[in-house]
Amino acid sequence: MRATGISNGKIILMGEHSVVYGEPAIAIPFLATAIETTIETTNGPVTLDCFFYKGPLSTAPERLLNLVTVIVETVKKLNKPLENFDITITSTIPAERGMGSSAAVAVATIRALFHYFDESLSNSVLLQLTNISETIAHNNPSGLDAAMTSGQSPLYYIKGQDFQFFPLRVTAYLVVADTGITSQTKEAVENIAELYQSAPRETDLAIKKLGLLANQAKWAIEQDQPIELGTFMTQAHEQLDSLGISNQELNHLVHTALDSGAIGAKLTGGGRGGCMIALAKNEDNAIQLSKALLQAGANHTWIYNMRKDE
């Protein structure tokens, strides 16, 4: 017997980190990148075959603790024995780059297991199980990654509230660039938690400002005002940088984009590595930006049409 489950990457347009503290975020499922998990019947202990490891599930390395835990918990939830199947995960989402790969691996694997055992899976159970993995990955997840990697529509998202689907109808292109450096979401999330202890007022102000910028970005999208959207994105990058979430490579790509005609640029996701995004006013400008970013050291770029939702 054989069954599969799929998921996709995500891009946070606005609101990473501040979303953990109840501020709004805007995020896009990034269908250009995806994960597929396949479960196949065998005899004996469960095995895992993924980018980081191939072998018995029981001896998987510590870095896969979130995935191993979600597999164990899902099988427990399904009331099935943890034996007699192989798990194979293939991915085009670069790992640890702020594109939600850890949540996406969990989503695809939970879906594959439910499919394999022929049980229906509700969205709320999928999100609950995915958040087990995300909590191990970085302690205090907002739930945004779980929602985006399992969904197909952009969201205006506030932790704990119902999903608000949010069509992107702004006349602009997004260029996504990967620094090639693994992002450190856990450290970055912890860094902000520490700042809340050592400098509560300043940190709270920066988080609130990021929330305000996310709302202003929402307005700019609704009014089809790409120049304003770009300005709010760049301002959000400055706030994130002031909170210690950026690094030299991300700042270099953000400055390269702005010097090459981008109407806005910022890091996206957990930060301290991973990806950045730049806003271009048209496709030619996006192609030009993509070239400039690759020349400046990005190891991959993607171009996303922000009117493609229509």
Residues 204-233 that bind ligand PMV (CB under 6 A): none
Q: What is the DSSP string of the chain?
A: -EEEEEEEEEEEEE-TTGGGGT--EEEEEEEEEEEEEEEEE-SSS-EEEETTEEEEGGG--GGGHHHHHHHHHHHHHTT--S-SEEEEEEE-SPTTSSS-HHHHHHHHHHHHHHHHTT----HHHHHHHHHHHHHHHHSS--SHHHHHHH-SS-EEE-TTSPPEE-----S-EEEEEE-SSPP-HHHHHHHHHHHHHHSHHHHHHHHHHHHHHHHHHHHHHHTT-HHHHHHHHHHHHHHHHHTT---HHHHHHHHHHHHTT-SEEEEESS-SSSEEEEEESSHHHHHHHHHHHHHTT-SEEEEEETTTT-
Among the listed residues 33, 47, 183, 260, the single contact to ligand PMV using CB under 6 A: 183
C-beta of 78: minimal distance to ligand PMV in Å? 26
Q: Per CB under 6 A, does 98 bind ligand PMV? A: yes
Q: Draw the binding track, 257-296, toward ligand PMV (x: CB under 6 A; -: no contact).
A: ------------xx--------------------------
Nearer to ligand PMV, 226 or 274 (CB): 274
Stretch that binds ligand PMV, among 12-20, 56-64, 85-93, 235-243 (CB under 6 A): 12-20
Q: How many residues bind ligand PMV (CB under 6 A)?
A: 16
Q: Per CB under 6 A, does 142 bind ligand PMV? A: yes
Q: Per CB under 6 A, does 203 bind ligand PMV? A: no
Nearer to ligand PMV, 101 or 225 (CB): 101
Interacting residue ranges for ligand PMV, rule: CB under 6 A:
16-17, 19-20, 98-100, 141-142, 144-145, 183, 185, 189, 269-270
